[in-house]
């Protein structure tokens, strides 16, 4: 790029940055700023600056720390799980097999279902007394499970539902990434006598690393901010076992009339996401060499 063209990258960036600043950055600054205010309720309510009060209250609230634990466990399990499953599924449906198109199409279906409808369907499937899943479990002679109504099984059930919805979606990006790997590389490796597993490790993974980074980051973000299944199915229960931070934020905002608490939680979420996503990007970048 010559000196005279210094403006070119900025011109390429301009439309996106303008849109993001108006419709995302400004509201975000507002939301973060809002976390330092509280409402003084009354017929003529006032918003008053309270400094770090919302954060102090948050950090001394046992419900918050319960949510932090639930959110951490949820994300430690679901992100590696979904990313791995999505990659395996992408490889599986990229195989040259008869009828593979049909299978691929089947896995695409959950992508287009709304999360609300998916949650409702799964709730009926997982009903402890009348659901299909317990019917199948009992048919093979095992005791029925409580699923969403048990403090031990509710979070795994939510992970199951979220993965049923999500894996097909993330698979999609891996399929697009696999498209970019020249088939000649595999042919060459095969002639080299490399095993299939070896070509997976030495060709597929390195050449997919940017897509893997994308899926990991995007999936982590989506799951940190996920709350619809919890909102629809468990309301954070039983006994707080599915009380994700984002659900707490939504609840504080629209149920608890406590926008200060909601925006404080969101700011905490944003900070933790920045750390996690930053670490993921650095880690995947250093493994590039």
Partner 1 sequence: MSQESPRQTASTDARQTKPLRRWVRRNGGPIAGKALAYLALTVLSVVTLLPLLWSVASSFTPLNDIYKFAVPFSWHALLPTNVTLQAYQDLWASTYPRALFNTVLVCAVTVVAGILINSLAGFAFAVFNFPGKRVLFILVLITFLVPFEVLALPLFVIINTLHLDNSYQALILPALANGIVVFLFRQFFIDTPRELLEAARIDGLGWFGVYVRIVIPISTPVMVSAGLVLFLSQWQAFFWPLLVTNSPSYQMVQVALSTFSGQYVTKWNDIFAGSIIATIVPLVLLLTLQRYYVRTIARTGLTD
Partner 2 sequence: MKLHLKLTHRSRLLRPSCAALALVALALPARLPSAQAAPITITYLNQEQPIPLIQSTVNTFNQTHPNIHVVLQNLPFDQLFPQIEVRLGSGSSSPDVIDVDAPVTAAYAVQGFLTPLDSYFSKADLAQFVPASLSTSYYLGHLLAPPINGSSQLLYYNKDLLKKAGVPFPPNDVSKRLTWEQLVTNAKKAQVQAGKNVTAWGFVIDQIDRPYQLLPLPESLGGQPISKDGLHASGIVNSPAWIKAFTWYSNLFNTWKISPIGATPAQTPNLFSSGHAAYFWGGPWNVGTFQAAKGLHWGVAPTPYFAGGKAVTPNDSWHLGVNRHSAHIAAAAEFVRWLTVGPGNDIFVKGNGQVPSLLREITRINQDSAYATFPSNVLRLTSYEAQHTAIPRPVTPGFNEYQDILTRAFDNIRSGQSSKAALDAAAAQIDRAMAKYARAPH
- Which residues make up the interface to partner 2 (CB under 8 A)? 29-30, 33, 37-49, 61, 63, 123, 126-131, 138, 144, 146-151, 234-239, 251, 253-259
Instruction: Give the separation between CA 277 and CA 220, rounded to whole angstroms.
Output: 8
Distance CA 31, CA 19 (A): 18
* Ramachandran category for residue 51: left, alpha or beta (phi over 0 → left; psi -120 to 50 → alpha): left
Q: Does 122 bind partner 1 (CB under 8 A)?
A: yes
Contact yes or no for 163/78 (Cβ under 8 A): yes
Q: Which is closer to partner 2, CB of 82 or CB of 153?
A: 153
Residue whose CB is less far from partner 2, 122 or 170: 122
Between residue 169 and residue 208, which ones bind partner 1 under the rule CB under 8 A? 169, 172-173, 175-181, 183, 186-193, 195-204
Binding mask 32-71 for partner 1 (x = CB under 8 A): ----------------------------------------
| Residue number, 82 or 123, with CB nearest to partner 2 | 123
In angstroms, what is the minimal distance from the CB of 240 to partner 2? Answer: 8
DSSP state of 113: S
Whether 69 and 194 have beta carbons less than 8 Å apart is answered as no
Binding site partner of 238, from partner 1, partner 2, none, Cβ cut-off 5-8 A by kind: partner 2
User: Residue 25 binds which entry of partner 1, partner 2, none, with Cβ cut-offs from 5 to 8 Å by kind?
Assistant: partner 1
Find the shortest distance in angstroms from Cβ 184 to partner 1.
Answer: 10
* Partner from partner 1, partner 2, none contacting 137, C-beta within 5 to 8 A by type: none
With binding defined as CB under 8 A, does residue 268 bind partner 1?
no
The upper half-sphere exposure of residue 57, i.e. CA atoms within 13 Å in the direction of its Cβ, equals 16
Shortest Å distance, C-beta 44 to partner 1? 20
Rounded to an integer, what distance in angstroms lies between the CA atom of residue 64 and that of residue 266?
12
Based on CB atoms, which residue is closest to partner 2, 31 or 185? Answer: 31
- Angstrom distances, CA of residue 59 to CA of 35, 47, 53, 55: 14, 22, 10, 6
The three state secondary structure string of 160-217 is HHHHHHHHHHHHHHHHHHHHCCCHHHHHHHHHCCCCHHHHHHHHHHHHHHHHHHHHHH
Please, what is the minimum distance in Å from the beta carbon of residue 277 to partner 1? 7
* Strand 37-40 with 46-49, pairing: antiparallel
Does 125 bind partner 1 (CB under 8 A)? Our answer is yes
Closer CB to partner 2, residue 146 or residue 280? 146
Peptide bond into 143 cis (omega under 30): no
Residues 142-171 that bind partner 1 (CB under 8 A): 164, 168-169
CB atoms within 10 A of CB 54: 24
Phi, psi values for residue 192, rounded to 5°: -70, -10
| 44, 60, 130, 286: residue in contact with partner 1 (rule CB under 8 A) | 130
Please identify, using beta-carbon distances, which residue of 206 and 256 lies nearer to partner 2.
256
């Amino acid at each position: 790029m010559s000196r005279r063209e210094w403006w070119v990258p900025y011109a390429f960036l301009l439309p996106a940055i303008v849109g993001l600043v108006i419709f995302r950055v400004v509201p975000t600054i507002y939301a973060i700023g809002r976390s330092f205010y509280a409402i003084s309720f009354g017929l003529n309510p006032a918003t008053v600056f309270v400094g770090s009060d919302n954060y102090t209250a948050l950090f001394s609230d046992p419900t918050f720390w319960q949510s932090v634990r639930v959110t951490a466990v949820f994300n430690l399990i679901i992100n590696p799980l979904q990313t791995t499953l999505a990659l395996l599924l992408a490889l599986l449906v990229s195989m040259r097999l008869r009828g593979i198109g049909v299978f691929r199409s089947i896995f695409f279906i959950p992508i287009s279902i709304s999360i609300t409808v998916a949650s409702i369907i799964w709730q009926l499937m997982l009903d402890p007394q009348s659901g299909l899943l317990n019917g199948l479990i009992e048919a093979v002679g095992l005791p029925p499970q409580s699923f969403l109504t048990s403090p031990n099984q509710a979070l795994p059930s939510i992970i199951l539902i979220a993965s049923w919805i999500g894996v097909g979606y993330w698979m999609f990006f891996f399929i697009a990434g696999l498209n970019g790997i020249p088939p000649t590389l595999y042919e060459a490796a095969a002639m080299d006598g490399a095993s299939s597993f070896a070509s997976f490790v030495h060709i597929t993974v390195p050449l997919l690393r940017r897509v893997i980074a994308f899926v990991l980051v995007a999936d982590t973000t989506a799951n940190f901010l996920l709350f619809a299944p919890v909102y629809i199915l468990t309301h954070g229960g039983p006994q707080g076992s599915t009380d994700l931070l984002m659900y707490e934020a939504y609840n504080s905002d629209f149920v608890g009339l406590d926008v200060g608490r909601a925006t404080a939680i969101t700011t905490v979420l944003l900070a933790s996401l920045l750390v996690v996503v930053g670490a993921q990007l650095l880690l995947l970048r250093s493994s590039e060499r």
